[in-house]
A and B are shown apart, each in its own frame.
Chain A
Amino acid sequence: MSKPANLTPAPAEAPLDRSDVRMRHDDSIGAMLRASLDKVRSGDLGMLPVVVGLIVISVVFSLLNPVFLLPNNLVNLLFDCATVGIISLGIVCVLLLGEIDLSVGSMSGLASAMVGVLWVNLGLALPLAIFAGLAAGACVGALYGVLYNRLGMPSFVATLAGLLALLGLQLYILGPTGSINLPFASVLVRFGQIYVMPAWLSHLLALVPGAVMVLRGLRTRAGRQAAGLSAPPLSALILKAGLLTLGLEFAVFYLNQGRGVPWMFGLLIALVVVLDYALTRTQWGRSMFAVGGNREAARRAGINVRRIYMSAFMLCSTLAALGGMLSAARLASSSQQAGTGDVNLNAIAAAVIGGTSLFGGRGSAYSALLGIIVIQAISNGLTLLNLSSSLRYMITGAVLAIAVIVDSLARRSRVSHGRA
């Protein structure tokens, strides 16, 4: 007589989440590595494509021109990253909902023009001018939100119209001269071009992420154990935090061989951290992912879907305005060219290259940061090679195409592996 397979439930003292015998639990570091590998195989690529891309880019460009990896070139690179990176952060928010904002470039140009006109031409105090720019961004975002929520206008169309209208407004307020120079000695321009952290501060700040990771990990562990849940192994936590700290400290050390870590880049990092917290640890963030994943299900769960769309559009335009004002600071001028050209597409491409899906419901604030570093590295490297902008556009376009292809292939693979 055959006995049924061993069906005895796990012993009572097993953690709540460890009672199903079918589940493989990855408790050792080796097993965790294996689990990550499984994840990648099933199409959950996470940050992998970016990291691989960055390594390839660094190797290729430093072989072609050794200047690329010099500390001061990297410092310049980070200054450039900050402006479009902030714009891209807003793009992450709308992409998470499966929507798009094609007018971020124009919005950034308009905000840069506003700073020039209000501050330099009309003599308004700088903080007020900046506030006005941010408020303009929020209003434009709110308008998109109303068009979307009340009139059902697809964001693609509404923001395409916005692209033209905002550009027109930018040209209008700049007037016939078309360009306003910002004073070099001002805080804004120095922030955009010169200010770097003192070396000791940057080293101190580089310790923070690892420390936070360990502290939060320990607290989560204690909480989970107290609640009778399994806790991830301590060794893995320490290892991850250690590697992270080591990497950051090295990066900071290297940058400090040059001018140092730009404050403007610090601002980008701070915004990324805040947005990441909001997306992963608050109800608002959970609702963003839910609406992006299944709008009707989110509505039926009692989420105010319209408010979520509104918040995302407003956040996106406001961040675009902030990015625009910082790029005015970077260039020390508000001009008709601000926000035109490749700003729009670079911001969108950065989010997608960093791993935020165009289909909604997946992504992270960090994708904007990593994506913009990739894009600016390519653009910087190509500039160093004295390639014309025609070639730069073509190559950046190809990289974006590759990123989108990777995104759709990974999505297909996730569907077949049951990972949505």
Chain B
Amino acid sequence: MTTTTKAMPAKGETILRLSQICKNFGAVSALTDIDLEVKAGEVVALVGDNGAGKSTLIKVLAGVHQPSSGTIDFMGRPASLDSPGKALELGIATVFQDLALCENLDVVANLFLGHEMSPWALDEVAMEVRAWTLLRELAARIPSVRQPIASLSGGQRQTVAIARSLLLDPKIIMLDEPTAALGVAQTAEVLNLIERVRDRGLGVIIISHNMEDVRAVADRIVVLRLGRNNGVFTPDASNQELVAAITGATENSVSRRMERKSVHAQEQTGSLT
């Protein structure tokens, strides 16, 4: 456990600034000239269709992938995130879409992985207590923290991954579709949690396909499309605008469907009268 009293950035101060980030996988350009800024005490939602490059961007920031070009500034200084350990050390915590948990280890071991208390004589008791407190905060429904991850449900695993991101007192938390497998209560808890950490002055990046959740917590909505920036919106932007930015056209399958539905509804009400 780090007991360092890391100075929290002042509210509104820019924690993270990306400029012109590109990432190629061989011939595929997953990200092209991405700009993004996250301030302390701000929730940025990252939205986009499947394959838009959201997870890739998160992984670049987590030190999992190295960007092909572009610069990353962290707390006003250029940072090279050349390994996941480096990103964690700086205070960038991530909940990955695939969770990245070790199924053969129990919940406590996963929570503290790489950051165990007293490395030469593991303090299992202290770690277990901390694990329970963290999971309580998230209203987690986990019967025992001594179960291997393999025996947990998808939602329980997601809660463990979220709890782990909070462990190291990060400055910024990135959540890649954190509520995809969660129940109603846990989703609400995660949204509450996002608001709580924002109020504590952390920066948050959240990826979600659920526009309702996104509007509920986000201060800004950043749209990615085919690996490029495609607009920044406020939460009061209309659904139509957002969908248009995400899919890249005002004429799209979502709006067509909506239209069809409303016409259908009008017809029905018409036939009733």
Contact = CB atoms under 8 A, between A and B. Distances in A.
Contacts of B104: 289, 292-294, 361-362, 420
B114 A302 contact: yes
Contacts, number: 120
Nearest to A44: B148
B114 A420 contact: no
A181 interface: no
A287 B143 CA distance: 25
B122 A283 contact: yes
Interface in A294-328: 294, 296-304
A17 B143 CA distance: 8
Size band of the interface chain A makes with B: 35 or more
A287 B114 contact: yes
Given A228-B129, A362-B104, A302 B148 contact: no
Contact of B120 (A282, A301, A361): A282
Nearest to A297: B100
Interface string B120-151: 11101110110010000000011111101111
Contacts of B144: 17, 20, 23
A273 to B, nearest CB: 15
Contacts of A224: 125, 128
Contacts of A65: none
Contacts of A17: 128, 132, 144-146
A298 B125 contact: no
Contacts of B94: 300
Contacts of B85: 302-304
Give the interface centre of B62, B85, B88, B96 by most chain A CB atoms within 10 Å.
B85
Given A23-B143, A220-B125, A294-B102, A302 B116 contact: no
B64 A298 contact: no
Contacts of B101: 294, 297
A418 B125 CA distance: 25
A3 interface: no
B115 interface: yes
Interface string A369-410: 000000000000000000000000000000000000000000
Contact of B103 (A229, A304, A420): A420
A7 to B, nearest CB: 12
A150 interface: no
A118 B125 CA distance: 50
Contacts of B142: 20
A361 B106 CA distance: 12
A227 B126 contact: yes
Contacts of A220: 124-125
A302 B132 contact: no
Interface string A260-300: 00000000000000000000011110110110111011111
A419 interface: yes
A232 B11 CA distance: 47
Contacts of A299: 64, 83-84
13 contacts: A17-B144, A20-B144, A23-B144, A223-B125, A228-B129, A229-B129, A283-B120, A286-B116, A290-B113, A297-B101, A299-B64, A299-B83, A302-B115
Interface of B: 62, 64, 83-85, 88-89, 94, 96, 99-105, 109, 113-116, 119-122, 124-126, 128-129, 132, 141-146, 148-152
